[in-house]
Homo-oligomer: A and B are copies of this chain.
């Protein structure tokens, strides 16, 4: 069989990005997947984005990934969340036509040069002297490759759980990867067990929309990708309803049937996407929980019950669903279920996503202990990029926590590991006023361009935007507004306070009540700009103080990040370090003092010891 530079195993969200990145960077790539009809399948909510996740999607886009474009082609409901809050937490969220999302991604994969797509079951890695050499499939075929990227999601030794029933399966209707799990353990990779669950899907013709609150799609021309024009779209509404006393009663009465009570579930589940079982167990007195009733596509009656995740026995699921206003007569089309699976605790990875034990083996996605399509896609993209860079003998791409949510994600994983399915949250980012969803292009497109993942044209567009922001900000600072009667009246009209002395247009724009489009009224010289540029000018002026403070913190942070630690250091010889720190450092092998300082169990005192040692080493080296 043909040899490849890179083989990607799995065509979920991680696998698609990994394979596309590799092929687009010009290396011969193969993607293998269980079922070629299930590419980019969304086994849980067919929704992309939301707080922090939406940020990741835009970052993927800025780096040249596919997820943003794909959801733009296939969404049927889109909204900007948190618009009443600051720009750091504004977040785009879209509901996809689940099938269209799959097809559009399938089409992109199929049409990608340098990329072959094949349906098969991978059972083994081919490894020689701890270096990956390829993969073996269930039919005995071996494909050779220089790098292998595993993105098999929840399939490793997967088991589906509903009520007290548990059967082998990677997710509903897909095979589990039993042999592959064995093969990983054999080469010394440590696997642990997690669990995740999905709510029942119900039949649209059996709900009563009038009892719920309508959430139509936004009428704004919203989109995720910086690089695709907005297209009109047929949309579908969501509905909001709430659990109440009745739901609580049903749940409390039946809680002993929950797989979480019976102990049939072994792995830990996601804290930030808890099942209704867990919600009731944790807060037995809380009556109301939101339930978003969301469409799965244009051509299907299936509705997703966001908020009612459960793996209770089916009869009880039906009772729970019917206890919610608007769903009293609902019919379940697919019951909710949990899936329990093995993951690779991510302390076993380098920040490049390469495995520490097996050279050339990269892993990405749910397999690394995360949860969520966006988190998976981001890792896939980074694994794909780094596998190619390594192949070409180039410097790896390691995004910093101050660059991007993707940087935060990977740093968290490899530095702290995770003992529950890891999900991105805005609160995980220290510099979230800088890591906004609206400026991901400004932050990351130059990197994507350098990698060859962003076209010259798109790169130029972003750079033009950057220049426009800079030049127009300078203009706004130069143009003066004097407190004439007209100006004062205008401010009053906008509901803003008085003006005593002449100020710059920028200072006017700082006021929360004044938006960019008002500026023309204050001064005819106010520059005409694109909407996107105007948005940046508003944010940069209105949040000037916060942003500059955060930038200073970033400088300090960068200083620590740039203190590199050699990878061949023998921590056991650093007897001045506490034993726990020695072990943790040896295990994680941080690449910088910054990373070392975030390892739990490594104290500031340990960091000082380490820094002194590094300085001595360096001086020794210089002598």
Contacts of A167 in B (CB 8 A): 138
Q: How long is the Cα–Cα vector from A169 to B176 in the complex, in angstroms?
A: 12
Q: Pick the residue among B137, B201, B203, B313 that contacts A116 (CB under 8 A).
A: B203
Contacts of A1 in B (CB 8 A): 314-315, 318
CB atoms of A110 and B301 under 8 A apart: yes
**Beta-carbon contacts of A93-122 to B below 8 Å, as 1s and 0s?**
000000100010011001100001111100
Q: Flag whether A606 is at the interface (Cβ < 8 A).
A: no
Contacts of A335 in B (CB 8 A): 118-120, 139
Total number of A residues with any Cβ neighbor in B under 8 Å: 49
| Residues of chain A from 23 to 64 with CB closer than 8 A to chain B in the complex | 34-38
Q: Flag whether A302 is at the interface (Cβ < 8 A).
A: yes
Q: Flag whether A141 is at the interface (Cβ < 8 A).
A: yes
Q: Flag whether A7 is at the interface (Cβ < 8 A).
A: no
Minimum CB–CB distance for A403 against chain B, Å: 36
**Beta-carbon contacts of A338-364 to B below 8 Å, as 1s and 0s?**
000000000000000000000000000
Q: Pick the residue among B139, B175, B299, B301 that contacts A165 (CB under 8 A).
A: B139
Minimum CB–CB distance for A611 against chain B, Å: 54
Stretch of A326-334, A513-521, A523-531, A583-591 at the chain-chain interface: A326-334
Given the known interface contacts A1-B314, A172-B35, the answer about A301 and B111 at a Cβ–Cβ threshold of 8 Å is yes
Q: Flag whether A83 is at the interface (Cβ < 8 A).
A: no
Q: Flag whether A130 is at the interface (Cβ < 8 A).
A: no
Given the known interface contacts A119-B172, A165-B138, A333-B117, the answer about A103 and B315 at a Cβ–Cβ threshold of 8 Å is no
| Residues of chain A from 553 to 595 with CB closer than 8 A to chain B in the complex | none
Minimum CB–CB distance for A304 against chain B, Å: 13
Q: How long is the Cα–Cα vector from A101 to B120 in the complex, in angstroms?
A: 24
Q: Flag whether A245 is at the interface (Cβ < 8 A).
A: no
| Residues of chain A from 148 to 170 with CB closer than 8 A to chain B in the complex | 162-165, 167, 169
Q: Flag whether A232 is at the interface (Cβ < 8 A).
A: no
Contacts of A332 in B (CB 8 A): 118
CB atoms of B172 and A106 under 8 A apart: no
Minimum CB–CB distance for A42 against chain B, Å: 11
Q: How long is the Cα–Cα vector from A301 to B313 in the complex, in angstroms?
A: 41
Q: Flag whether A183 is at the interface (Cβ < 8 A).
A: no
Q: Flag whether A266 is at the interface (Cβ < 8 A).
A: no
Contacts of A314 in B (CB 8 A): 1, 137, 139-141
User: What residues of chain A have their CB less than 8 Å away from a CB belonging to chain B?
Assistant: 1-2, 34-38, 99, 103, 106-107, 110-111, 116-120, 137-141, 162-165, 167, 169, 172-175, 201, 203, 205, 299-302, 313-315, 318, 331-335
Given contacts A139-B163, A140-B313, 20 further A-B pairs with CB under 8 A are: A1-B318, A2-B331, A35-B172, A35-B173, A36-B201, A37-B99, A103-B299, A106-B299, A110-B302, A116-B203, A116-B331, A116-B333, A118-B331, A119-B335, A137-B314, A139-B162, A140-B164, A141-B314, A169-B175, A173-B175
